[in-house]
Structure 1
Amino acid sequence: MRQTRLAVGLAMSAALLTTATACGSPQQAATGGDGASSAPVKVGLVYSKSGPLASYGKEYLEGFKAGLDYATKGSNKVGKRTVEVTEVDDAGDPAKAVAGAKDLIGKGHKIIAGSTASGVAVQVSALAEQNKVLFVSGPAATDAVTGAGKYTFRSGRQTWQDIRTAAASLGDVKGKKVTVFAQDSAFGQANVAAVKSVLGGAGATADEIMVPASTSDFTPFATKAHDAKPDLLFVAWAGTTAQAMWTALGQQGVFDVTTVVTGLDIAATWPTYGPVAGKISFLSHYFAGAGGTEAEKAMTDRVTKAGGTVDLFTVDGFTAAQMIVHAAGSTNGAAGDDADAMVKSLEGWSFDGAKGKLTVRAEDHALLQPMFNAKLTGGATPRAELVKKLEPEAVAPPVATKK
């Protein structure tokens, strides 16, 4: 695994960083006459400004800016300290992310956030743990972030919550047959493993239909899905062949024999579902209007005023800013230099987010949150509509084993 190959290098680099940042005067904050720090609270955002997940990164950044304005009541200050945000583009590359995070830590940043990609989140988490800095991961969904260590938190959902949301249409999954229809890739295999772990562990029978990445004719695979007649067909797909794949499932009558569930992606992808859009049951982390909360309204107003559009991962940035402002403000801003104090303030904290009530579980830092079932309507210009809101406890992952 990539993490294993980098472990020695990370440990050596982290040790050097820890020594450097412990040396004193260059990194010490200035203090005011009352003893409170007047130096800025330094926040480093390491995220995908470019690369394959750049659209996700853009949403995250817009949400973060809105959340910072909301959480500081427009002041951009925690106590008497200004929040200073530095952006680093990792382009979805773990090596670039680690290099960028090392540089920020070396310059005195005690708070790192972002991580659009799961591979990035795992590597930056290891670095944060070694250097004892607060890390709030972003849209990265890997379950590995939960329970990764004392200093690692997340502002988005995780794969376990996705899968439980997908299964909501089945009710009790015990004895039910679930088939994963996925690309034969790391992404597809990860989804197969997650379904077998989450739903298989709850008593379902789980299998898979894996489609080679080079496939252009999806008819044989769609036919196989039709003939299997599972109780639930979970589709895990990404990329330019999505429209052809959905067309084939429709043509082979798959929607007539089973419930088809997939994740609701960003709004720009909705037209690719074509004429079958209204037949798909969508699991949703978030879409504009899903929360129905005052915080969501505040987020939407700020993002729109700034020229942005609220979408899938806007909420992750907004939530991250809320968490960081709370953590840094736990001792009138002084905690912005004290990672242990920030950790203590976040563990067990419940707050009103854009999605609804959110809780940072103390035991493993999972973010307990509502999830949504949705449908698309509107034909050529699809609109997302809420079918059901799942409360946090209904989709809460099991407590992760401490690493």
Structure 2
Amino acid sequence: MRLNSKVFAGSVAAVAALALTACAPGETTPTTTSSASNSSSAPPGITDVTVGVLTSQSGPLAGYGQQYLDGFKAGLDYATDGTNSVNGVSINVEYRDDAGDADTAVTAAKELIGSGVNILAGTVSSGVALALAEQADQNKVLYISGPAAADAITGVNHYTFRSGRQSAQDVATAGTFLNDIEGKTITVFAQDTAFGQGNAAAVDAILGAKGATVNSILVSEDVTEFTTFAQQVIDAKPDLVFVAWAGATSGAMWQALSQQGVLDQIPVVTGLGDSATFGAYGDASSKIKFLNYYFPGAPDNAVNTAMVDSITAAGGAPDLFSPDGFNAAIMIVHAIESGAGDVEAMISSLEGYTFDGPKGSITVRASDHAMIQDMYQVQLVANGDSYAPELLATASAADVAPPEMP
């Protein structure tokens, strides 16, 4: 086993938050225990455990689903030294396509649970994750969600964990582009949709709680000309602009902000998605400040190298959500090592668990199962006819910790 386990014993300084659906701890002092597991061997009679992995293999989120699956397979190989077993227990995996649809996912989950599966993992859709969390609670099975970022997943119930970051960590990372948030003005520039309104509310809750004055400019979804709105941003005279935008008008919006001088006059921050989006910003790329969850060149550690090499060797390409799958596999192997299918024992083993993932040290917060981890400040730089991310700084897990849920 190549797992580094610690029990998290420190408290985490929390920041206030609401949900963010973008793109995409005070100091903590974990104490070390002597072993990653609570037992050295499986209970008598337990020779294999089946894990059900549900994520988008088709539909609009299939690309994200593939990133997760690539990471999961690499992580399972890594955490078991290529044996797909731990402490004499074989780990079998059944993969199901949720197609980004909650009903499809619930049907598959019920079939898996009905066949005796009591460990579920995956999904890139927050709506699907919340539906699976409900199934986990009703059927008392362990569920580790995937890239789904909704803050509501954290602390939703006793049985649900996550293997990636959540939206509150995105917003908190945006705030790290200001040296001191107290007294600063932040303008949220977004579409007047549930997506945009949610972002505005999240920035107000998280960064407003740190002393910022937050206002918003919300633009109707059918607008295609953004010159007037770009001028409104300038007139607001903010210290930072947080952009939350999605869809076909993204290129025109960024072009307007660039042409009207917004990007030259005011720091503008947005979330950097997966590699398929790197070319979407055009000439504005070099002027935008990006918050980022992961890109392959950001971390510098042996685990990240192992994941990148494994995915590449299998013919894949490591990307934004690869760590979510890799982390999930590490967590599942640790849970099976400790509990071998006993749900309560597996849950206990994961609460407070600290391990080395592709992004470095990660702690599963015991109180609400949040993933306490570093985030990144990134810029896009021209690379021939395309753009590539370059790390500017690492935002520490302490500075971007999500609020502790009751």
Q: Shorter-normalised TM-score: what interval?
A: 0.7 to 0.9
Distance 2:356 2:306 in 1: 12
Aligned-pair CA distance for 1:36: 3.8
**Structure 1 residues 33 and 44, CA gap change in structure 2 (3 angstroms):** closer
Distance 1:111 1:165 in 2: 32
**Structure 1 position 300 matched with structure 2 position 308:** yes
**Aligned pairs for 1:244-283 within 5 A:** 244-283=252-291
Distance 2:372 2:233 in 1: 34
Deviations 1:169-223 (A, max 9, x none): 1122111111111122222122112111111111111121112221211222222
Contact 1:110 1:336 in 2 (8 A): no
1:382 to 387, 398, 401: 387
Structure 2 residue aligned with 1:394: 399
Contact 1:112 1:135 in 2 (8 A): yes
**Structure 1 position 172 matched with structure 2 position 176:** no
Aligned-pair CA distance for 1:153: 0.6
Structure 1 or 2: more helix by fraction: 1
Aligned-pair CA distance for 1:398: 2.3
Q: Greater relative contact order: 1 or 2 (C-alpha under 8 angstroms, separation 6 or more)? A: 2
Deviations 1:111-169 (A, max 9, x none): 11112011111111111011111110110111111111111111000111111111101
**Structure 1 letter corresponding to 2:234:** H
* Identity percentage of aligned residues: 53
Contact 1:370 1:391 in 2 (8 A): yes
Aligned-pair CA distance for 1:256: 2.2
- Which range is displaced more, 294-303 or 196-205? 196-205
Contact 1:42 1:111 in 2 (8 A): yes
Structure 2 residue aligned with 1:142: 150
**Structure 1 letter corresponding to 2:401:** A
Distance 1:181 1:302 in 2: 39
Contact 1:296 1:354 in 2 (8 A): yes
SS in 1 for 2:93: strand
Structure 2 residue aligned with 1:349: 353
Distance 2:161 2:43 in 1: 32
Structure 2 residue aligned with 1:340: 344
2:123 to 115, 119, 144: 115
Distance 1:102 1:288 in 2: 35
Q: What is the TM-score with the length of structure 2 in the denominator?
A: 0.87
Structure 2 residue aligned with 1:133: 141
Contact 2:42 2:88 in 1 (8 A): no
**Structure 1 position 241 matched with structure 2 position 249:** yes
**Structure 1 letter corresponding to 2:402:** P
Distance 1:57 1:33 in 2: 32
Distance 2:42 2:361 in 1: 39
Contact 1:111 1:336 in 2 (8 A): no
Deviations 1:5-56 (A, max 9, x none): xxxxxxxxxxxxxxxxxxxxxxxxxxx9982412x31111111112221111
Aligned-pair CA distance for 1:336: 3.5
**Structure 2 letter corresponding to 1:90:** D
**Structure 1 position 37 matched with structure 2 position 41:** no
SS in 1 for 2:176: helix
**Structure 2 letter corresponding to 1:210:** L
Q: Which runs of 5+ in 2 are unaligned?
A: 1-40
SS in 2 for 1:382: strand
- Which range is displaced more, 367-376 or 117-126? 117-126
2:374 to 353, 357, 370: 370
SS in 1 for 2:77: helix
Distance 2:43 2:130 in 1: 40
Distance 1:132 1:189 in 2: 35
Distance 1:351 1:33 in 2: 21
**Structure 1 letter corresponding to 2:318:** V
Distance 2:309 2:163 in 1: 20
**Structure 1 residues 34 and 277, CA gap change in structure 2 (3 angstroms):** closer
Distance 1:209 1:271 in 2: 25
Contact 1:229 1:257 in 2 (8 A): no
Distance 1:381 1:34 in 2: 54
**Aligned pairs for 1:24-173 within 5 A:** 35-38=44-47, 40-173=48-181
Structure 1 residue aligned with 2:35: none
Aligned CA RMSD, in angstroms, stands at: 1.5
SS in 2 for 1:216: coil
SS in 2 for 1:213: coil
Contact 1:243 1:274 in 2 (8 A): yes
Distance 2:180 2:125 in 1: 32
Structure 1 residue aligned with 2:296: 288
Contact 1:175 1:203 in 2 (8 A): yes
Distance 1:128 1:33 in 2: 23
**Structure 2 letter corresponding to 1:312:** L
2:322 to 314, 326, 334: 314
Number of residue pairs matched by the alignment:
365
Q: Which runs of 5+ in 1 are unaligned?
A: 1-31
Distance 1:127 1:172 in 2: 43
